[in-house]
Amino acid sequence: MAIVQAINLTKKYGKLTAVETLNVEIDEGEVFGLLGPNGAGKTTIIKMFATLLEPTSGTAKINGFDVIKQPAKVRESIGIVFQEPSSDELLTGYENIKLYAMMYGIPKDEIKKGISEALELVELTNRKDDLVRTYSGGMRRRLEIARSLIHKPKVLFLDEPTLGLDPAGREKMWAYISQLVEELKMTVLLTTHYMEEADTLADRIGIIDQGKIVVVDTPKALKATLGGDLVTINASTIPISELEKLKYVKKIKQENHKVILTIENVSRNLQPLLKVFGKIDSVEVRNTTLNDVFLSFTGKRIQEEGKSTWFDKIIQESTSRA
């Protein structure tokens, strides 16, 4: 059964269409990743699902409730972690969650137990009485996840859950999210522009670009659409006509003395492939990534390989200065 359903969901800001006639269904218990570059429309979609932003046209149903006609019911059904930090730095972790619990009208006698459980889940029990100001970025993110779980929502929205975390922090966060899904059997919609994140966490991925979902499938199936892994060979002569005869060569792209080949079942076919060449200067084998998938569907890259985003740069600069 679809627990999240977008029906021709559209958001326009003046002339700009941030989300264009989105139709997508997320099943109960699924982890769904919206993967796309900056400005693709990810946050706009989540905000419409969470009743924080009114659609220009179309609608969405969450847990069977319509975001336009039954916003209160939708809010009871969801938890949300925003892209920007949203906890109060001048309160303790415990106080932050308590405030939220009271806003949700959770009965007084249940609040204490609920907060303890949520804090335990994200391993913040021993820091609960410290001011959030003293938390690390990762701890703060975890606190916001704990807070979003306090009313036991059926669907959890995570908008860029690891933005601003260093690679180690990011991996830890992935483990927390996986554990949550396992223990609470929740439906999770997460947005990210980190392809490894979508690949690691999501059962299915919707690739989004300029307000439109380009394709939806499992990470494995998406990568399989490219037909194989990439082999780059540098050689003075490229035997193009020989390569064209090979069944396991799915794509050929030549650039002077270099050829980039898409090879099916590379572990089996690499040896025979190399025999077709005379003298080879270098060989590089690379598994296909979701970045390649994104490139093949949109003609663009999500992130330049090896290049970090401005956000990562700021984090790196501030940590190297410290």
Ligand X SMILES: Nc1ncnc2c1ncn2[C@@H]1O[C@H](COP(=O)(O)OP(=O)(O)OP(=O)(O)O)[C@@H](O)[C@H]1O
Nearer to Mg ion by Cβ, of 83 and 234: the residue is 83
Nearer to ligand X by Cβ, of 56 and 234: the residue is 56
CB of residue 159 to Mg ion, shortest distance in Å: 6
Q: Which residue type occupies 169?
A: G
**Alpha-carbon span 130 to 45, nearest angstrom:** 34
**Does the footprint of ligand X cover residue 39 (CB under 6 A)?**
yes
**Does the footprint of ligand X cover residue 41 (CB under 6 A)?**
yes
**Does the footprint of ligand X cover residue 42 (CB under 6 A)?**
yes
SS3 124: coil
CB of residue 17 to ligand X, shortest distance in Å: 9
CA 306 to chain CA centroid, Å, is 19
Q: How far is CA 283 from CA 50, 159, 191, 257, 277, in A?
A: 49, 39, 35, 12, 11
Write the binding mask 190 to 229 for ligand X: x where contact by CB under 6 A, - elsewhere: ---x------------------------------------
Which residue has the CB atom at the shortest distance from Mg ion? 43
CB of residue 228 to Mg ion, shortest distance in Å: 33
Of 6, 40, 80, 261, the residue at the interface with ligand X (CB under 6 A) is 40
**Alpha-carbon span 16 to 43, nearest angstrom:** 15
**Does the footprint of ligand X cover residue 33 (CB under 6 A)?**
no
**Does the footprint of Mg ion cover residue 43 (CB under 5 A)?**
yes
**Does the footprint of Mg ion cover residue 44 (CB under 5 A)?**
no
Of 8, 23, 38, 134, the residue at the interface with ligand X (CB under 6 A) is 38
SS3 271: helix
Scan residues 59-118 and list those touching ligand X (CB under 6 A). Answer: 83
Of 3, 18, 121, 132, the residue at the interface with ligand X (CB under 6 A) is 18
Q: Near Mg ion by CB under 5 A, which window of 9-17, 40-48, 227-235, 282-290?
A: 40-48
Residue 193 burial (CB count, 10 A): 22
The site for ligand X, by CB under 6 A, has a size of 13
Tokens for 253, please give them: 């792209």
Nearer to ligand X by Cβ, of 16 and 274: the residue is 16
SS3 244: helix
**Alpha-carbon span 125 to 146, nearest angstrom:** 11
**Does the footprint of ligand X cover residue 13 (CB under 6 A)?**
yes
Nearer to Mg ion by Cβ, of 10 and 43: the residue is 43
Q: Which residue type occupies 180?
A: L
The partner in contact with residue 39, picked from Mg ion, ligand X, none with C-beta cut-offs of 5 to 8 angstroms by kind, is ligand X
CB 63 within 8 A of CB 26: no
Edge-to-edge strand list for the sheet holding 229-235: 249-255, 258-263, 229-235, 280-286
Residues 6+ apart with CB under 8 A from 291: 195, 301, 302, 303, 305
Provide φ and ψ at 266, rounded to 5°.
Answer: -65, -30
The partner in contact with residue 40, picked from ligand X, Mg ion, none with C-beta cut-offs of 5 to 8 angstroms by kind, is ligand X
**Alpha-carbon span 136 to 139, nearest angstrom:** 5
CA proximity to 62, closest of 82, 52, 76: 76
Interaction site with ligand X (CB under 6 A): 13, 16, 18, 36, 38-44, 83, 193
Interaction site with Mg ion (CB under 5 A): 42-43, 83
